Structure 1
Amino acid sequence: MSTDTPKLSKVEKIKEESQFLAGTIGPEMAADTDHFGDADIQLLKFHGTYQQDNRDQRAELKKTGGGKAYSMMVRCRIPGGRITSSQMLAHLDMCDELGDSTMKITTRQTIQLHGVLKSDLRKTINRINEIGLSTLAACGDVNRNIMCCPAKINDGIREQLNQLTDELTIALAPQTPAYHELWVEDPETGEKTLEGGGEPTGVVEPLYGPRYLPRKFKMGIALPEDNCIDIYTQDVGFLAVVRDGKIIGFNVLAGGGMGTTPALKEKTYPALAKRMAFCTPDQAVEVAKAILKVQRDYGNREDRKIARMKYLVDKWGIDKFRRAVEEYLGTPLKDCTEDDVTGFDDHMGWQDQLDGKWSYGLNIENGRLYDNEKVQLKAAMRAACKEFNTELRMTGHQSIIFTDIDPADKDKLTKIFSDHGVRLTEDTSTVRRWSMACVALPTCGLAITESERYLPSLIDGLEAPLAKLGLDKDRFTIRMTGCPNGCARPYNADLAFVGKAKEKYTFYAGGGWLGNRLAYVYKDLVPADTLVDEIVGVCSAYKSHRNEGESLGEFCTRVGRDELESLAAAAPRP
């Protein structure tokens, strides 16, 4: 470890003094209050939950002299997004019984429950463990949910990716007993109440130490022809190198991350991961540990705004960073092979599993499952899970794949969706299918603008103009976030909108669906009610001036910001 003694940030001190994440969470849960104190709010993240308040209710509560409408968001850890039908049904029950009656599929292939009251928090996390899942390390300054290609294609390759995902999840999981003591064991007797969630191995964290990591840490595993988990946005990425139908190793990428702080634009920025080295399959877990240890020991613990590993990689350069990783690993690594990302399959619609069965990817707009008078998404999920009792897989675009469907049952599955008013993937416009948004208002404390609640109406306004331009079949990504933290990975999208001020967004252009190029700021402080016209202008310019085979993001990059603005202003609107 580094011998330097850093000036620790407030959160670092909270972690160090927490007795391995226990803090005073137990006594606070027993207290007759509707919210937790500041220190425990930080520690609860490691346990998979954030304290929030409904910002839609703030003004009304203030008028009546009340406080904030507090609740908890609870996030699962679901490696690679793989979940059983019974586990999905249990989540649907919990969102009705303990949450706000909706649930969210996240951009990291997992599930969030919203609106859980403090008094129901232990019951919720206990039930999640009871069904064989966990919330430990779904949030916090640790390795979070590991993303992996969700496709169930029996080609002998994707199963190896899933196996590595599971091995890494176990190897990099926190070992503190506090999680089990708080959520799994009986609070009065200390006896274990269930078998789910694994067993703690001791008080001392052999990998993380008492301060854990300086900041959140994200990993993803992908194939060159199928970068469906946005590998370049990860702190660490393992890109499979395949020869003659077998994985011979991985090109290891390091230093990606999306979040930024506008007020500190020279200091904070989004970054794509850099190609570091090649490792063999049997080296992968130890390489991941070595990278994590370098970030643990040399990442910034004074200023959380520049504590992500991307800043360390940029400060040192990838060569110095690689040498540090090799030192921790105890052996040199080979250089990356020529393999790089070349494609992106969202796995929507019907796909052949190559084993006589099929999978069906259902597009879930912005990942929100709900029921109303027009659409009954939750009811459709219940019916499909009960009918087929199959494995489900959540995608990095917030959607769901139903696996192992017999060819004779294909119409039965889609009829369930149609009977519940759910739009089938094949009836979803291309622009809607390739869009995604973060939660934002009303529950995210960082949100400046709307995102999830606004993007659908923006897409509504785009569909007809794009069809008139003849671009309704063109694939490009549109992503929206309520703040610059970038939870929907906006900074490498073809077009993106990041909340900057009330009802105003920063408009980014020039990324791409392949995920290996950053977008640039096209316009700042764009009013929400002008976004559709701004997008149509860019798309019209693209239609008139693109090169053959050029994508929207490539076009925006080629012409640059100034010319794009001129072309868009002059472009006819359909």
Structure 2
Amino acid sequence: MTTYDKDDNTTGLLHLGHGEGSKVERIKLESHYLAGQIAEELATDSTHFAEAEVQLVKFHGMYQQENRDMRQARKIAGSEKAYQFMVRSRIPGGVLTAEQYLVEDELADRYGNGSLRFTTRQGIQLHGILKGDLHATINSINKSLLSTLAACGDVNRNVMACPAPAANRVHTQISKIAHKIAMHLAPRSQAYHEIWIDGEKAQTVTSTQEEVEPMYGPTYLPRKFKVGIAFPDDNCIDVFTQDVGLVPYLVNDELAGFTVLIGGGMGMTHGKVETYPRLATPLCDIPADEVLKVVETIVTVQRDYGDRQNRKHARMKYVVEERGVAWFKAEVERRLGYTLLPPREVSFADADDHLGWHKQADDRWFLGLYIENGRVKDTPTLQLKTGLRRVIEQFRPGIHLTAQQNILLTDLTEEQRAPVEALLSEYGIATNPDAVGASRFAMACPALPTCGLAVAESERILPSIMREIDEDLRELGLADERISVRMTGCPNGCARPYLGDIGLVGRSKDLYNMYLGGDWSNTRMTALYATSIRTHEIAATIRPLLELWKAERLRQETFGDFCHRIGFENLRAKVESRATIAASSRS
């Protein structure tokens, strides 16, 4: 493991440049490797953590939040904020057992708001946890052999991988490699286990920082870090959005190695030109057995050169963009001690959502089920949470979560297919993905009322917007066409709105920027088409673009490809011309 060199900076902070680092850097440095005063504050009867611990608990897999729907009423009443917590499980490749899923399901009812949320990084979030229930929740998750450690915070987050069950041996290898990377890049500090699992300190930490965190050091990374492994010809995990993306290449149908991509990331800040979304750049090719060493070395370059003064400018994409890929490659080679092979060309045929029934290599089956915006809950018309629980209790399938916030029930026999379908149907759960309509390829972040960064709605309003878009597609005879819509309540891009056909990004309350022109395999970013569109205007703004697409597209041209080919100036001119003609005809 590449060790942290404490002699690089006598203060213990890493390569800060001018200044002394952001407030969060100081909090990390003084936290005694993520322990801080978390245990002490858990022992109090307060509803929330102090400022420093709010930052530290992220590393332990949670965010302190408030129910913002209640903010004004509580303020008038003179009450404190309605504090609550989101707890996120780190699930490499999105693979868990039926028993582990049922634990999460039960905890959602016992301590949470009664719902599960599948994330766009193949994890599970529990919302509405109160501070007094945090220990019981996280302890139970760990007893199921899942973990929340490093699901958040300035470390490597959940490692993504194509969730499709083994269609061949390579799928199995990729899943195992994702798990190995996740374990290899996990923090080594004992603070997590002492607080949430053991309940007491194993011993007083007197070790040197190299022994406690040999890779991360006392201040960990400048910002979050993301790794994902695609599958040949299937970019279902949006590999170009990762800090490190791994694209396998095969020789005689065997896994030979990976093309390494670096510097992807979706986040930006409105009005800050120094921040921007970026797609990853090919760096090199590596043999399969070099993955851990190379990925770790890339992490250490970001550790040492990422911006620790400005957290909005701290992701690795800025190091890659501003110093250049050639510099980055040379620095990785210097640390490795050998020359890296040039990268091969990377392309994808599709981005499969894996919904519906599919046969596995072992003659068993898996069923991909659509979950609207990843939210698993019961409603008067759809008992999704109860139905999934009943099927998983009865048939004990494997569980694989997808990057599109859906779920795969795996390892089902031919004889189980009909009874699984019948049981799901009892709870109103459709198994045919074609019945979903345009919403099949839509994604939204949670946004309001819980996310502290949200400036606009997302999850709660996208379903109604998609119903309008779906109706327009049917009226235009485009109901069978695929179109992806991704919505976020802020520009940080958790639902990856800068990819796909249409991205909707919250600008302020009830106002959204619209991005267009990505490609279906998610290798080209969208671009800004229109700003400050009100919620009720979104579908109406998209409708004339759909009409143009129908009238002028090339054969089998996707909506995103059409917008990209025509160009936004032409699109705006054509839309305006059609509106003028329509207004003239009405008069």
In 2, the alpha carbon distance for the partners of 1:411 and 1:565 equals 50
Q: Are positions 1:243 and 2:257 aligned together?
A: no
The equivalent position to 1:156 in structure 2, one of 154, 169, 172, is: 169
How far is 1:243 from its partner? Answer: 2.0
| Paired amino acid for 2:447 | A
| 8 Å CA contact 2:268, 2:277 repeated in 1 | yes
How far is 1:570 from its partner? Answer: 4.3
Partner residue, 1:388: 395
Q: Are positions 1:55 and 2:55 aligned together?
A: no
Q: Deviations over 1:41-75 (max 9, x none)?
A: 00000000000000000111112111100001000
| 8 Å CA contact 1:177, 1:203 repeated in 2 | no
Structure 2: which 5+ residue stretches go unaligned?
10-14, 204-208, 583-587
In 1, the alpha carbon distance for the partners of 2:16 and 2:543 equals 53
| 8 Å CA contact 2:165, 2:171 repeated in 1 | yes
Partner residue, 1:361: 368
Q: Are positions 1:37 and 2:50 aligned together?
A: yes
In 2, the alpha carbon distance for the partners of 1:361 and 1:165 equals 21
Q: Are positions 1:212 and 2:225 aligned together?
A: no
Q: Are positions 1:316 and 2:329 aligned together?
A: no
The equivalent position to 2:34 in structure 1, one of 7, 17, 21, is: 21
| Paired amino acid for 1:483 | C
* 2:255 partner SS: strand
TM-score normalised to structure 2 length: 0.93
Partner residue, 1:489: 496
How far is 1:469 from its partner? Answer: 1.6
Matches within 5 A, 1:439-450: 439-450=446-457
* 1:108 partner SS: coil
How far is 1:522 from its partner? Answer: 0.4
The equivalent position to 2:337 in structure 1, one of 330, 333, 355, is: 330
TM-score normalised to structure 1 length: 0.96
In 2, the alpha carbon distance for the partners of 1:392 and 1:40 equals 33
Structure 1: which 5+ residue stretches go unaligned?
193-200
In 2, the alpha carbon distance for the partners of 1:9 and 1:114 equals 29
* 1:491 partner SS: coil
Q: Deviations over 1:443-498 (max 9, x none)?
A: 00111111000000111111121012222221221000000010000011210100
In 2, the alpha carbon distance for the partners of 1:172 and 1:160 equals 18
How far is 1:555 from its partner? Answer: 1.0
In 2, the alpha carbon distance for the partners of 1:153 and 1:491 equals 30
How far is 1:341 from its partner? Answer: 2.4
How far is 1:246 from its partner? Answer: 0.7
Q: Are positions 1:406 and 2:419 aligned together?
A: no
In 2, the alpha carbon distance for the partners of 1:53 and 1:425 equals 37
Q: Deviations over 1:197-246 (max 9, x none)?
A: xxxx9961011000000000001001231110000000000000112111
How far is 1:571 from its partner? Answer: 4.9
In 2, the alpha carbon distance for the partners of 1:151 and 1:430 equals 22
* 1:524 partner SS: strand
Instruction: Evaluate the alpha carbon distance shift between residue 427 and residue 560 of structure 1 in structure 2; reply closer, same or farther with a 3 A threshold.
Output: closer
| 8 Å CA contact 1:293, 1:328 repeated in 2 | no
Partner residue, 1:537: 544
| 8 Å CA contact 2:68, 2:449 repeated in 1 | yes
| 8 Å CA contact 2:370, 2:433 repeated in 1 | no
In 1, the alpha carbon distance for the partners of 2:334 and 2:435 equals 50
In 1, the alpha carbon distance for the partners of 2:465 and 2:122 equals 24
In 2, the alpha carbon distance for the partners of 1:249 and 1:571 equals 52
Instruction: Evaluate the alpha carbon distance shift between residue 216 and residue 191 of structure 1 in structure 2; reply closer, same or farther with a 3 A threshold.
Output: closer
How far is 1:382 from its partner? Answer: 1.0
Partner residue, 2:144: 131
Partner residue, 1:371: 378
Partner residue, 1:231: 239
| 8 Å CA contact 2:391, 2:423 repeated in 1 | yes
In 1, the alpha carbon distance for the partners of 2:436 and 2:570 equals 29
How far is 1:536 from its partner? Answer: 1.4
* 1:157 partner SS: helix
* 1:51 partner SS: strand
Q: Are positions 1:471 and 2:491 aligned together?
A: no
| Paired amino acid for 1:544 | A
In 1, the alpha carbon distance for the partners of 2:429 and 2:282 equals 41
Partner residue, 2:90: 77
In 1, the alpha carbon distance for the partners of 2:278 and 2:261 equals 12
| Paired amino acid for 1:35 | H
| 8 Å CA contact 2:501, 2:559 repeated in 1 | yes
| 8 Å CA contact 2:194, 2:202 repeated in 1 | no
Q: Deviations over 1:254-274 (max 9, x none)?
A: 00000000121x110000000
| 8 Å CA contact 1:108, 1:147 repeated in 2 | yes
In 2, the alpha carbon distance for the partners of 1:184 and 1:302 equals 34
Partner residue, 2:135: 122
| Paired amino acid for 2:114 | S
In 2, the alpha carbon distance for the partners of 1:224 and 1:118 equals 43
In 1, the alpha carbon distance for the partners of 2:48 and 2:392 equals 35
Partner residue, 2:295: 288
| Paired amino acid for 1:117 | L
* 2:169 partner SS: coil
Partner residue, 2:585: none
Q: CA RMSD in A?
A: 1.6
| Paired amino acid for 2:147 | S
How far is 1:395 from its partner? Answer: 0.1
In 1, the alpha carbon distance for the partners of 2:266 and 2:565 equals 23
In 1, the alpha carbon distance for the partners of 2:26 and 2:264 equals 26
Partner residue, 1:195: none
| 8 Å CA contact 1:21, 1:43 repeated in 2 | yes
How far is 1:5 from its partner? Answer: 4.7
The equivalent position to 1:432 in structure 2, one of 439, 447, 456, is: 439
The equivalent position to 1:178 in structure 2, one of 175, 191, 213, is: 191
| 8 Å CA contact 1:224, 1:339 repeated in 2 | no
| Paired amino acid for 1:185 | D
In 2, the alpha carbon distance for the partners of 1:297 and 1:425 equals 49
How far is 1:430 from its partner? Answer: 4.0
| 8 Å CA contact 1:46, 1:142 repeated in 2 | yes
How far is 1:252 from its partner? Answer: 0.2
How far is 1:566 from its partner? Answer: 2.2
How far is 1:186 from its partner? Answer: 2.7
| Paired amino acid for 2:251 | R
Q: Are positions 1:301 and 2:314 aligned together?
A: no
* 1:58 partner SS: helix
* 1:120 partner SS: helix
Partner residue, 2:354: 347
How far is 1:427 from its partner? Answer: 4.6
Partner residue, 1:101: 114
In 2, the alpha carbon distance for the partners of 1:545 and 1:434 equals 23
The equivalent position to 1:252 in structure 2, one of 247, 260, 266, is: 260
| Paired amino acid for 1:227 | N
* 1:262 partner SS: coil
Partner residue, 2:465: 458
Q: Are positions 1:11 and 2:24 aligned together?
A: yes
| 8 Å CA contact 1:429, 1:472 repeated in 2 | no
In 1, the alpha carbon distance for the partners of 2:534 and 2:514 equals 10
| Paired amino acid for 2:497 | P
| 8 Å CA contact 1:540, 1:568 repeated in 2 | no
| 8 Å CA contact 1:497, 1:507 repeated in 2 | yes
The equivalent position to 2:509 in structure 1, one of 469, 489, 502, is: 502
Greater Cα shift, 427-436 or 272-281: 427-436
